[in-house]
Structure 1
Amino acid sequence: MAEPQSVITQVSADQGLPPVMQDQGQEFLDDDSLIHLNIQENHYYITRDQLMSLPESLLLCLFPSGVFMDRTGQVITNLTSQDEVYVGNFPPDCFEYIMESYVRAQEDLINFPVDEIFNRAQSSREPSRFFGFASPSAMAPSSSNSEAEILHEKPSIIVLREDLDYYCVPFQSLAFPEGASEELKSELTDNFIAQVKLAAGSYLSAQTSVFEGLFSSNRLKRPQKTASGETVSKLGPAEQHLMDMLCTSGFHDSSVWGNRAQEPGKTVISSLSLCRLLNETTQEFRDKADSARRSYEEKVESSRALSESPSLTPLMSRTSQGSTAAEVKRKSRLSSLADNVRSRSASRNRSSSRQNRDHTPTLYDLVPKPDINSKLLLFWKKPARKCWWGEEDLKLTLKLYGEIDSETGKLLLLPQGPIVTLEVSVKLHIRRVWTLELSVVGVE
């Protein structure tokens, strides 16, 4: 079976439109269903439905003004496949990360529908409850449309985005060459500050842990010491509640950002994590269900084979010649009583085994129902934002034209000449904005 083609197609700028893509076996009716995106000179073609199915928080990142614009900044009023939608302030690898996550969720929705793969028919007369969600009376159409059940039946993605702005305050005395003009001094100072910002950006970009930023809030309590003397930071109630909700929905303490990049020429670092909600639509749950089904079937087969095997009843030995008639009559009565007891016991065992075979378990009898935090519904189609400030003291290693005055400790900045490597003490003021949204694939 051939692997399904990706719905994103990257082509070079000088190529024409790609061949008409296949959408689950059906061709697009017209070329106007395609949108040509130019993201920092990386070209992609996707459909309108695929683009508009993205959550609001991501669409606003792609199109901050809320409209499609061409390369010159003009609004495209009547969009066709011949138009080029220009996106200049969004990393292309982040766009690919987004589309790959949503394509995978869309494939699970279409190829592995929950109601079908977990409700298989035994015969054409009556449907089976094997691996069903509930009893037939409980499977009313209205229940499947409830918001709580949607989180069990549809692929869902937790969209967590962080926008980080940082401000650098270096603690380094500067000196300039004798006779330097004010313009040169300003140029050398700006270059020094730019190097500090680049080094700080590299330092922050390397911090890929999702929850590391929560521990940097200025509102957190002072670090506490454990019994072993180790210093730990304790989250505030709001931060701890947020972290607990995310960790019970698919994130982990050690989760890292799926994409993290600094905007060129800016002290802004954007991070994104798309976490698939661990419900019945995931491959992990399907594997657990298949394993439970095989174990159940093996147990039923073993029980059936044991119940259908012939019972071994010992034969009565012939009476000895010396036995009296009364002894023979007494032994005959005891043997008959024992045979009746064994017969009733075997009948009960066969009846119990038959009842076990007739009772087919539901899905949740064999596999625990995923425990989904219902509070996630508060973020469905309703992005929520959290903002906080933090600060950090660190030393950054810089390489600059200049030299260090051994007596004063000042850095003499030069327009050219020898390169000096030094450590500069810097205080970083960091502003973080988290945007959290729940996206349910297949539900408009």
Structure 2
Amino acid sequence: MSSANPITSAAPPSNNPITSIQPQQYQQYHPQQQQQALLARLHLDVRGRRFVVEREKLMSLPESVLLCLFPNGLVLSRPHGGGGGEDEAEDVYVVDFDPTCFDFVLDFFDKATVAFYGPPDNPGGLYQLQQSLSQPNPDLPVLNTVQQQQQQQANENNPLLHKQGIIVLREELEYFVIPEKGGAARTDPEGLANEELMVLKREAGKGLLDRKQIFTALQRNVNKENNVAEQHLIDMLCMSGFNRDDKWGHRDIEPSRCSISSIALVLLKTGIVHPTKPGEVARVDQTQMATAQKLLLFWRKPARKCWWDGIEIEAPPSSEKKTIKVWARRVWTLELNLI
């Protein structure tokens, strides 16, 4: 069955596919298995930069980020008798991931956690302010007990009332320079780029890196193809936490590759209005909450969208051309994370 939803769980038969990432199968370890002990923290070597991350914090990160960190899965335990405590420092996981991006994600999640739950020495935060939403609404008629019970049950089953939602949007961009026919930039008989072509590739990478607005490329594709579903995706994201002129939170070129990785994180707008004065209670904008609940489709189910984009970038002064023609393959991954 075809769907107008631009991001779906199954790959539709379309030239513009948006497909769900297959969940990574991690090996499960249970506390009752006495021969194994869970690691309390992990020591990561992220492209030469060391991180010590608590296990619970690491596993609270978005599924799409974990798949990039550990594409072959992650063992969270050591054999019985393997030691613990300080001995865990001997186990270092080497990770091929941008350390600055990893630091950006950890910092955002730390700040979001403290804002919602309060600091460890003074818990509360927004979580405590909205606890009244789980209680019966005193504004409803007292005699209408069925409606009261239905509302309370709906509130208890709505995770957005009890957890902080974070929208995770990633872009993997691969770019291919199209050299001028008969020009100095070319490849040799073995397919390797000469110095002139390498210069064009580096300049193309710099030009693309400077284009940091999130929705410009997708909006250009919407205008070109008149794709209503993609326009709906932009509108939904901008109603849920993004702004139309937002820039990527982190964006950088991958080393030794014609590839740029970007990520943006925003707090999900749920429509919950928190009290500001004594005696007030939290209330909910139901229209905004309904929009936020649509993104629960991507909770623990990161989804992908791929499209090609033709771009012209200003060439360096030494080049024969004024512009560089580039084909870019963009892959977006959208996910909702609850902490």
Aligned to 1:86: 94
Write out aligned runs for 1:58-73 (5 A). 58-67=65-74
Aligned to 2:26: none
The reply on whether 1:384 has 2:303 as its aligned counterpart is: yes
The letter for the 1-side match of 2:51 is: Y
Aligned to 1:371: 288
Contact 1:134 1:362 in 2 (8 A): no
CA distance in 2, matches of 1:175, 1:255: 38
Aligned to 2:212: 208
Deviation at 1:45, TM superposition (A): 0.6
Q: Give deviations 1:46-90, integer Å, cap 9, x for gaps.
A: 111111111211101111222469xxxxxx9759342111113x1
The reply on whether 1:262 has 2:253 as its aligned counterpart is: yes
CA distance in 2, matches of 1:438, 1:190: 43
Calculate the TM-score normalised by the size of structure 1: 0.56
Contact 2:219 2:231 in 1 (8 A): no
The reply on whether 1:244 has 2:252 as its aligned counterpart is: no
Deviation at 1:105, TM superposition (A): 2.2
Q: Give deviations 1:235-285, integer Å, cap 9, x for gaps.
A: 52011010011011000111110011110111111110011112378xxx5
Give secondary structure in 1 for the equivalent of 2:208: helix
Contact 2:304 2:333 in 1 (8 A): yes
Q: Give deviations 1:163-211, integer Å, cap 9, x for gaps.
A: 11111112164469xxxxx98x989952111111110010001011010
Aligned to 2:7: none
Unaligned runs of 5+ in 1: 1-29, 70-75, 120-128, 177-181, 223-233, 295-359, 400-420
Write out aligned runs for 1:5-404 (5 A). 32-67=39-74, 80-88=88-96, 90-111=97-118, 112=124, 114=126, 116-118=128-130, 134-135=137-138, 138=148, 142-146=153-157, 149-171=158-180, 173-174=182-183, 190-217=194-221, 220-222=222-224, 235-279=226-270, 285-286=273-274, 289-290=275-276, 293=277, 362-364=281-283, 368=285, 371-372=288-289, 373=291, 374-397=293-316, 399=318
Q: Give deviations 1:96-137, integer Å, cap 9, x for gaps.
A: 111111112222343235563356xxxxxxxxx799772396
The letter for the 2-side match of 1:431 is: R
Contact 2:165 2:268 in 1 (8 A): yes
Deviation at 1:424, TM superposition (A): 4.8
Contact 2:184 2:196 in 1 (8 A): no
The letter for the 2-side match of 1:213 is: A
Structure 1 384/131 Cα, relative in aligned 2: closer, same or farther at 3 Å? Answer: closer
Bigger Rg, which one: 1
CA distance in 1, matches of 2:53, 2:136: 36
CA distance in 1, matches of 2:328, 2:155: 45
Structure 1 396/142 Cα, relative in aligned 2: closer, same or farther at 3 Å? Answer: same
Contact 1:388 1:432 in 2 (8 A): yes
Deviation at 1:362, TM superposition (A): 4.7
CA distance in 2, matches of 1:428, 1:64: 29
CA distance in 2, matches of 1:36, 1:115: 31
Give percent identity, aligned residues only. 32
Deviation at 1:221, TM superposition (A): 4.9
CA distance in 1, matches of 2:75, 2:261: 22
The letter for the 1-side match of 2:234 is: M
Deviation at 1:145, TM superposition (A): 3.0
CA distance in 2, matches of 1:130, 1:141: 8
Contact 1:156 1:440 in 2 (8 A): yes
CA distance in 2, matches of 1:440, 1:175: 52
Contact 2:134 2:156 in 1 (8 A): no
| RMSD of equivalent CA atoms | 3.5
Contact 1:39 1:92 in 2 (8 A): yes
Structure 1 202/362 Cα, relative in aligned 2: closer, same or farther at 3 Å? Answer: same
Calculate the TM-score normalised by the size of structure 2: 0.71
The letter for the 1-side match of 2:232 is: H
CA distance in 1, matches of 2:337, 2:257: 30
Contact 2:46 2:94 in 1 (8 A): yes
Deviation at 1:156, TM superposition (A): 0.6
